[in-house]
Amino acid sequence: MTQKIISPLGIFERYLSLWVGLCIAAGVGLGLAVPGVFQAIASLEYASVNLVVAVFIWVMIYPMMVNVDFASIKDVGKKPKGLCITLVINWLIKPFTMAALGILFFEYLFAGLVSPQDAKEYIAGMILLGVAPCTAMVFVWSQMVKGDANYTLVQVSVNDIIMIFAFAPLVALLLGVTDIIVPWETLLLSVVLYVLIPLTAGYVTRKKLDNANNHERIATFTTQIKPFSIMGLLATVVLLFGFQAETIIDKPLVIALIAIPLIIQSYGIFAVAYGWAYLWRVPFSIAAPAALIGTSNFFELAVAVAISLFGLNSGAALATVVGVLVEVPVMLSLVVFANKTRQHFQG
Protein backbone atom coordinates (compact mmCIF):
# COMPACT_ATOMS: atom_id res chain seq x y z
CA MET A 1 0.00 0.00 0.00
CA THR A 2 1.50 3.29 -1.10
CA GLN A 3 1.38 6.40 1.07
CA LYS A 4 -0.16 9.46 -0.56
CA ILE A 5 2.22 12.40 -0.62
CA ILE A 6 0.74 15.88 -0.45
CA SER A 7 2.82 18.31 -2.52
CA PRO A 8 3.57 21.83 -1.33
CA LEU A 9 1.56 23.12 -4.28
CA GLY A 10 -1.47 21.11 -3.16
CA ILE A 11 -1.22 22.54 0.34
CA PHE A 12 -0.81 26.08 -1.01
CA GLU A 13 -3.75 25.82 -3.40
CA ARG A 14 -6.08 23.99 -1.03
CA TYR A 15 -5.70 26.57 1.73
CA LEU A 16 -4.90 29.58 -0.44
CA SER A 17 -7.60 31.78 1.10
CA LEU A 18 -6.15 31.08 4.56
CA TRP A 19 -2.62 31.93 3.42
CA VAL A 20 -3.81 35.15 1.79
CA GLY A 21 -5.68 36.14 4.96
CA LEU A 22 -2.56 35.50 7.03
CA CYS A 23 -0.46 37.48 4.55
CA ILE A 24 -2.88 40.43 4.71
CA ALA A 25 -2.61 40.42 8.50
CA ALA A 26 1.16 40.00 8.30
CA GLY A 27 1.46 42.85 5.80
CA VAL A 28 -0.53 45.25 7.97
CA GLY A 29 1.31 44.15 11.12
CA LEU A 30 4.75 44.46 9.57
CA GLY A 31 3.84 47.75 7.93
CA LEU A 32 3.02 49.16 11.36
CA ALA A 33 5.96 47.52 13.13
CA VAL A 34 8.71 48.37 10.62
CA PRO A 35 7.32 51.15 8.41
CA GLY A 36 10.82 52.23 7.39
CA VAL A 37 11.44 48.92 5.66
CA PHE A 38 8.27 49.19 3.60
CA GLN A 39 8.97 52.85 2.80
CA ALA A 40 12.38 51.84 1.50
CA ILE A 41 10.86 49.10 -0.67
CA ALA A 42 8.12 51.47 -1.87
CA SER A 43 10.78 53.96 -2.99
CA LEU A 44 12.25 51.37 -5.36
CA GLU A 45 10.01 52.34 -8.24
CA TYR A 46 10.19 53.81 -11.69
CA ALA A 47 7.26 55.43 -13.50
CA SER A 48 4.93 54.45 -10.63
CA VAL A 49 5.83 50.77 -11.06
CA ASN A 50 7.35 49.27 -7.92
CA LEU A 51 10.27 47.13 -9.03
CA VAL A 52 10.09 44.67 -6.13
CA VAL A 53 6.39 44.03 -6.73
CA ALA A 54 7.21 43.72 -10.44
CA VAL A 55 9.68 40.92 -9.67
CA PHE A 56 7.10 39.03 -7.63
CA ILE A 57 4.46 39.45 -10.34
CA TRP A 58 7.00 38.28 -12.90
CA VAL A 59 7.55 35.14 -10.82
CA MET A 60 3.77 34.61 -10.79
CA ILE A 61 3.39 35.05 -14.55
CA TYR A 62 6.42 33.12 -15.82
CA PRO A 63 4.99 29.57 -15.33
CA MET A 64 1.97 30.46 -17.44
CA MET A 65 4.11 31.96 -20.18
CA VAL A 66 5.98 28.67 -20.50
CA ASN A 67 2.63 27.12 -21.43
CA VAL A 68 2.05 29.56 -24.30
CA ASP A 69 2.28 27.66 -27.56
CA PHE A 70 3.12 30.18 -30.27
CA ALA A 71 2.15 27.74 -32.99
CA SER A 72 -1.42 27.66 -31.62
CA ILE A 73 -1.93 31.42 -31.23
CA LYS A 74 -2.99 31.73 -34.85
CA ASP A 75 -6.03 29.55 -34.05
CA VAL A 76 -7.41 32.03 -31.50
CA GLY A 77 -9.19 33.92 -34.28
CA LYS A 78 -11.31 30.84 -34.91
CA LYS A 79 -12.86 31.27 -31.42
CA PRO A 80 -13.79 34.97 -31.28
CA LYS A 81 -16.52 34.78 -28.62
CA GLY A 82 -14.20 35.00 -25.60
CA LEU A 83 -12.34 37.95 -27.07
CA CYS A 84 -15.62 39.68 -27.87
CA ILE A 85 -16.81 39.27 -24.27
CA THR A 86 -13.55 40.66 -22.89
CA LEU A 87 -13.57 43.74 -25.12
CA VAL A 88 -17.25 44.61 -24.67
CA ILE A 89 -17.02 44.22 -20.87
CA ASN A 90 -13.78 46.20 -20.55
CA TRP A 91 -14.55 49.09 -22.87
CA LEU A 92 -18.33 49.39 -23.28
CA ILE A 93 -19.67 48.30 -19.88
CA LYS A 94 -17.16 48.40 -17.03
CA PRO A 95 -16.08 52.10 -17.15
CA PHE A 96 -19.71 53.27 -17.19
CA THR A 97 -20.96 50.94 -14.44
CA MET A 98 -18.03 52.01 -12.25
CA ALA A 99 -18.93 55.68 -12.77
CA ALA A 100 -22.61 54.97 -12.08
CA LEU A 101 -21.83 53.10 -8.84
CA GLY A 102 -19.49 55.85 -7.70
CA ILE A 103 -22.16 58.49 -8.22
CA LEU A 104 -24.88 56.34 -6.61
CA PHE A 105 -22.89 55.67 -3.45
CA PHE A 106 -20.97 58.90 -2.90
CA GLU A 107 -23.50 61.45 -4.13
CA TYR A 108 -26.55 59.73 -2.66
CA LEU A 109 -26.13 56.75 -0.30
CA PHE A 110 -22.98 58.02 1.45
CA ALA A 111 -23.68 61.74 0.97
CA GLY A 112 -23.91 62.41 4.71
CA LEU A 113 -20.69 60.56 5.52
CA VAL A 114 -18.20 62.38 3.26
CA SER A 115 -17.77 65.94 2.07
CA PRO A 116 -18.88 66.80 -1.50
CA GLN A 117 -15.27 67.49 -2.55
CA ASP A 118 -14.02 64.18 -1.17
CA ALA A 119 -16.95 62.41 -2.82
CA LYS A 120 -15.97 63.79 -6.24
CA GLU A 121 -12.39 62.60 -5.78
CA TYR A 122 -13.43 59.13 -4.64
CA ILE A 123 -15.65 58.84 -7.70
CA ALA A 124 -12.76 59.98 -9.91
CA GLY A 125 -10.47 57.32 -8.43
CA MET A 126 -13.07 54.63 -9.01
CA ILE A 127 -13.50 55.74 -12.62
CA LEU A 128 -9.76 55.56 -13.19
CA LEU A 129 -9.79 51.96 -11.95
CA GLY A 130 -12.75 51.13 -14.19
CA VAL A 131 -11.08 52.49 -17.33
CA ALA A 132 -7.79 50.64 -16.73
CA PRO A 133 -8.12 46.89 -17.50
CA CYS A 134 -5.46 44.70 -15.93
CA THR A 135 -2.25 43.72 -17.71
CA ALA A 136 -0.35 41.55 -15.22
CA MET A 137 -2.37 39.74 -12.55
CA VAL A 138 -4.88 38.35 -15.05
CA PHE A 139 -2.25 35.82 -16.10
CA VAL A 140 -2.17 34.57 -12.51
CA TRP A 141 -5.95 34.28 -12.24
CA SER A 142 -6.10 32.53 -15.62
CA GLN A 143 -3.48 30.04 -14.50
CA MET A 144 -5.43 29.31 -11.31
CA VAL A 145 -8.52 28.33 -13.31
CA LYS A 146 -6.40 26.37 -15.81
CA GLY A 147 -7.29 28.84 -18.54
CA ASP A 148 -6.12 28.66 -22.14
CA ALA A 149 -2.71 30.35 -21.92
CA ASN A 150 -2.61 31.22 -25.63
CA TYR A 151 -6.07 32.78 -25.58
CA THR A 152 -5.40 34.75 -22.40
CA LEU A 153 -2.24 36.21 -23.92
CA VAL A 154 -4.18 37.42 -26.97
CA GLN A 155 -6.96 38.88 -24.80
CA VAL A 156 -4.48 40.86 -22.70
CA SER A 157 -2.47 41.99 -25.74
CA VAL A 158 -5.54 43.29 -27.59
CA ASN A 159 -6.67 45.08 -24.41
CA ASP A 160 -3.27 46.77 -24.14
CA ILE A 161 -3.41 47.98 -27.74
CA ILE A 162 -6.91 49.41 -27.26
CA MET A 163 -5.86 51.03 -23.98
CA ILE A 164 -3.23 53.10 -25.79
CA PHE A 165 -5.96 54.79 -27.83
CA ALA A 166 -9.06 54.58 -25.61
CA PHE A 167 -7.83 55.27 -22.07
CA ALA A 168 -7.42 59.06 -22.27
CA PRO A 169 -10.67 59.75 -24.20
CA LEU A 170 -12.72 57.60 -21.82
CA VAL A 171 -11.20 59.22 -18.73
CA ALA A 172 -11.81 62.67 -20.23
CA LEU A 173 -15.43 61.77 -21.03
CA LEU A 174 -16.26 60.32 -17.61
CA LEU A 175 -14.34 62.83 -15.49
CA GLY A 176 -15.14 65.88 -17.59
CA VAL A 177 -11.45 66.73 -17.63
CA THR A 178 -9.79 67.65 -20.90
CA ASP A 179 -6.12 67.83 -19.95
CA ILE A 180 -5.58 64.10 -19.41
CA ILE A 181 -1.90 63.19 -19.62
CA VAL A 182 -1.42 59.46 -20.06
CA PRO A 183 1.68 58.29 -18.15
CA TRP A 184 3.18 56.51 -21.12
CA GLU A 185 6.21 55.38 -19.14
CA THR A 186 3.96 53.54 -16.68
CA LEU A 187 1.87 51.98 -19.44
CA LEU A 188 4.78 50.89 -21.63
CA LEU A 189 7.01 49.77 -18.75
CA SER A 190 4.18 47.61 -17.38
CA VAL A 191 3.64 45.95 -20.76
CA VAL A 192 7.36 45.27 -21.09
CA LEU A 193 7.75 43.96 -17.52
CA TYR A 194 4.53 41.98 -17.29
CA VAL A 195 4.09 40.72 -20.85
CA LEU A 196 7.14 40.97 -23.10
CA ILE A 197 9.90 39.90 -20.69
CA PRO A 198 8.11 36.90 -19.11
CA LEU A 199 6.75 35.92 -22.54
CA THR A 200 10.25 35.94 -24.01
CA ALA A 201 11.60 33.97 -21.04
CA GLY A 202 8.75 31.49 -21.37
CA TYR A 203 9.35 31.12 -25.09
CA VAL A 204 13.07 30.45 -24.61
CA THR A 205 12.35 27.95 -21.82
CA ARG A 206 9.72 26.17 -23.88
CA LYS A 207 12.06 26.01 -26.86
CA LYS A 208 14.76 24.32 -24.80
CA LEU A 209 12.37 21.88 -23.15
CA ASP A 210 10.50 21.06 -26.34
CA ASN A 211 13.47 20.57 -28.65
CA ALA A 212 12.39 16.98 -29.22
CA ASN A 213 8.68 17.79 -29.30
CA ASN A 214 8.43 16.38 -25.78
CA HIS A 215 5.40 18.08 -24.23
CA GLU A 216 5.73 15.94 -21.11
CA ARG A 217 8.94 17.75 -20.18
CA ILE A 218 7.10 21.09 -20.37
CA ALA A 219 4.27 19.81 -18.15
CA THR A 220 6.76 18.45 -15.60
CA PHE A 221 8.72 21.69 -15.53
CA THR A 222 5.67 23.92 -15.07
CA THR A 223 4.41 21.65 -12.28
CA GLN A 224 7.75 21.98 -10.51
CA ILE A 225 7.87 25.80 -10.71
CA LYS A 226 4.17 26.48 -10.08
CA PRO A 227 4.60 26.69 -6.27
CA PHE A 228 6.85 29.71 -6.84
CA SER A 229 3.93 31.39 -8.59
CA ILE A 230 1.77 31.04 -5.47
CA MET A 231 4.65 32.19 -3.26
CA GLY A 232 5.06 35.25 -5.46
CA LEU A 233 1.36 36.04 -5.03
CA LEU A 234 1.57 35.75 -1.24
CA ALA A 235 4.70 37.92 -1.10
CA THR A 236 2.92 40.54 -3.24
CA VAL A 237 -0.03 40.56 -0.83
CA VAL A 238 2.30 41.17 2.13
CA LEU A 239 3.95 44.09 0.33
CA LEU A 240 0.75 45.73 -0.92
CA PHE A 241 -0.87 45.68 2.51
CA GLY A 242 2.39 46.64 4.20
CA PHE A 243 2.68 49.73 1.98
CA GLN A 244 -0.79 50.90 3.07
CA ALA A 245 -0.81 49.70 6.69
CA GLU A 246 -0.93 53.18 8.21
CA THR A 247 -3.71 54.29 5.85
CA ILE A 248 -5.75 51.19 6.70
CA ILE A 249 -5.47 51.94 10.43
CA ASP A 250 -5.93 55.72 10.12
CA LYS A 251 -8.92 55.73 7.74
CA PRO A 252 -10.80 52.46 8.19
CA LEU A 253 -14.26 54.01 7.62
CA VAL A 254 -13.27 55.76 4.39
CA ILE A 255 -11.60 52.61 3.09
CA ALA A 256 -14.72 50.58 3.91
CA LEU A 257 -16.96 53.12 2.14
CA ILE A 258 -14.82 53.04 -1.00
CA ALA A 259 -14.50 49.26 -0.88
CA ILE A 260 -18.27 48.63 -0.90
CA PRO A 261 -19.01 49.91 -4.44
CA LEU A 262 -15.72 48.46 -5.71
CA ILE A 263 -16.66 45.01 -4.44
CA ILE A 264 -20.18 45.29 -5.90
CA GLN A 265 -18.65 46.35 -9.22
CA SER A 266 -16.24 43.41 -9.23
CA TYR A 267 -18.84 40.74 -8.52
CA GLY A 268 -21.35 42.39 -10.83
CA ILE A 269 -18.97 42.59 -13.78
CA PHE A 270 -17.87 38.99 -13.24
CA ALA A 271 -21.50 37.84 -13.14
CA VAL A 272 -22.29 39.61 -16.43
CA ALA A 273 -19.21 38.28 -18.23
CA TYR A 274 -19.40 34.75 -16.80
CA GLY A 275 -23.14 34.50 -17.42
CA TRP A 276 -22.73 35.78 -20.95
CA ALA A 277 -20.02 33.19 -21.62
CA TYR A 278 -22.24 30.43 -20.22
CA LEU A 279 -25.22 31.43 -22.38
CA TRP A 280 -22.95 31.74 -25.41
CA ARG A 281 -21.53 28.24 -24.77
CA VAL A 282 -17.95 29.45 -24.50
CA PRO A 283 -15.56 26.72 -23.23
CA PHE A 284 -14.55 27.12 -19.58
CA SER A 285 -10.85 27.53 -20.37
CA ILE A 286 -11.78 30.72 -22.26
CA ALA A 287 -14.92 31.77 -20.34
CA ALA A 288 -13.35 31.94 -16.87
CA PRO A 289 -10.30 34.01 -17.91
CA ALA A 290 -12.55 36.31 -19.98
CA ALA A 291 -14.68 37.05 -16.90
CA LEU A 292 -11.64 37.47 -14.65
CA ILE A 293 -9.93 39.81 -17.12
CA GLY A 294 -13.02 42.00 -17.19
CA THR A 295 -13.11 42.11 -13.39
CA SER A 296 -9.50 43.02 -12.54
CA ASN A 297 -7.82 46.42 -12.88
CA PHE A 298 -4.48 47.93 -13.98
CA PHE A 299 -3.85 49.58 -10.62
CA GLU A 300 -0.39 51.00 -11.41
CA LEU A 301 -1.83 53.06 -14.25
CA ALA A 302 -4.86 54.16 -12.22
CA VAL A 303 -2.71 55.22 -9.24
CA ALA A 304 -0.26 57.11 -11.49
CA VAL A 305 -3.02 59.07 -13.25
CA ALA A 306 -4.83 59.80 -9.96
CA ILE A 307 -1.65 61.26 -8.46
CA SER A 308 -0.87 63.33 -11.57
CA LEU A 309 -4.40 64.75 -11.80
CA PHE A 310 -5.40 65.16 -8.15
CA GLY A 311 -2.23 64.84 -6.07
CA LEU A 312 -0.54 62.23 -3.90
CA ASN A 313 -2.78 62.76 -0.86
CA SER A 314 -6.04 63.16 -2.77
CA GLY A 315 -9.21 61.16 -2.38
CA ALA A 316 -8.79 59.91 -5.94
CA ALA A 317 -5.36 58.45 -5.16
CA LEU A 318 -6.77 56.83 -2.01
CA ALA A 319 -9.63 55.26 -4.00
CA THR A 320 -7.20 53.68 -6.46
CA VAL A 321 -5.17 52.32 -3.54
CA VAL A 322 -8.30 50.80 -2.02
CA GLY A 323 -8.83 49.16 -5.41
CA VAL A 324 -5.45 47.48 -5.02
CA LEU A 325 -6.30 46.22 -1.52
CA VAL A 326 -9.73 44.92 -2.53
CA GLU A 327 -8.66 43.22 -5.74
CA VAL A 328 -6.63 40.27 -4.50
CA PRO A 329 -9.15 38.85 -1.98
CA VAL A 330 -12.06 39.44 -4.36
CA MET A 331 -10.31 37.89 -7.35
CA LEU A 332 -9.30 34.84 -5.31
CA SER A 333 -12.92 34.32 -4.27
CA LEU A 334 -13.95 34.50 -7.93
CA VAL A 335 -11.26 31.99 -8.87
CA VAL A 336 -12.69 29.60 -6.27
CA PHE A 337 -16.22 30.16 -7.58
CA ALA A 338 -15.14 29.61 -11.19
CA ASN A 339 -13.37 26.36 -10.35
CA LYS A 340 -16.40 25.06 -8.45
CA THR A 341 -18.72 25.80 -11.39
CA ARG A 342 -16.41 24.44 -14.08
CA GLN A 343 -18.64 21.43 -14.71
CA HIS A 344 -21.42 23.66 -16.06
CA PHE A 345 -19.30 24.71 -19.03
CA GLN A 346 -18.03 22.93 -22.09
CA GLY A 347 -14.33 22.16 -22.45
For residue range 296-345, what is the model confidence (pLDDT) as tens digits? Answer: 998 888 988 888 888 888 999 999 999 989 998 999 999 999 999 999 99
Do 82 and 277 contact (CB within 8 A), yes or no?
yes
Residue 180: predicted pLDDT: 61
Q: pLDDT category, 79, cuts 50, 70, 90?
A: confident
Residue 224: predicted pLDDT: 83
**Alpha-carbon dihedral 71, 73, 77, 83, rounded to 10 degrees:** 170
pTM of this prediction? 0.87
Where do the DSSP E strands lie in the chain?
Answer: 45-46, 49-50
Residue 6: predicted pLDDT: 40
**Alpha-carbon dihedral 331, 327, 86, 83, rounded to 10 degrees:** -60
Task: Name, of 85-89, 136-140, 176-180, the range with top average pLDDT.
Answer: 85-89
Of 163, 183, 129, 117, give the one whose Cα is nearest residue 315: 117
Residue 280 or 75, more confident:
280
Q: pLDDT category, 5, cuts 50, 70, 90?
A: very low
Alpha helices in 78-196 (DSSP H): 80-88, 94-104, 116-130, 137-144, 149-175, 184-191
Quick check: 178 pLDDT over 60? no
49: β partners = 46
Residue ranges per domain, the chain? 44-220+252-344
| Of 86-95, 114-123, 130-139, minimum mean pLDDT range | 130-139
Quick check: 2 pLDDT over 60? no
Residue 9: predicted pLDDT: 46
45: β partners = 50
Q: In percent, how much of the chain has pLDDT > 90?
A: 53
CATH number of this structure's domain 44-220+252-344: 1.20.1530.20
Give per-residue pLDDT as tens, 256-307: 999 999 999 999 999 999 999 999 999 999 999 999 998 999 888 898 888 8
Residue 1: predicted pLDDT: 40
Q: 45 by DSSP, 3-state: which? A: strand
Residue 233: predicted pLDDT: 87
| Of 62-71, 107-116, 288-297, minimum mean pLDDT range | 62-71
Quick check: 175 pLDDT over 50? yes
Q: pLDDT category, 10, cuts 50, 70, 90?
A: low
Mean pLDDT of 137-164: 90
Residue 129 or 312, more confident:
129
Residue 44: predicted pLDDT: 92
Query: Residue 228: which residues within 8 A CB-CB, separation 6 or more?
Result: 59, 63
Residue 193: predicted pLDDT: 85
Residue 8: predicted pLDDT: 45
Mean pLDDT of 182-210: 85
Residue 215: predicted pLDDT: 67
How many Å apart are CA 339 and CA 324, to the nearest integer? 23
Quick check: 182 pLDDT over 80? no
Residue 81: predicted pLDDT: 94
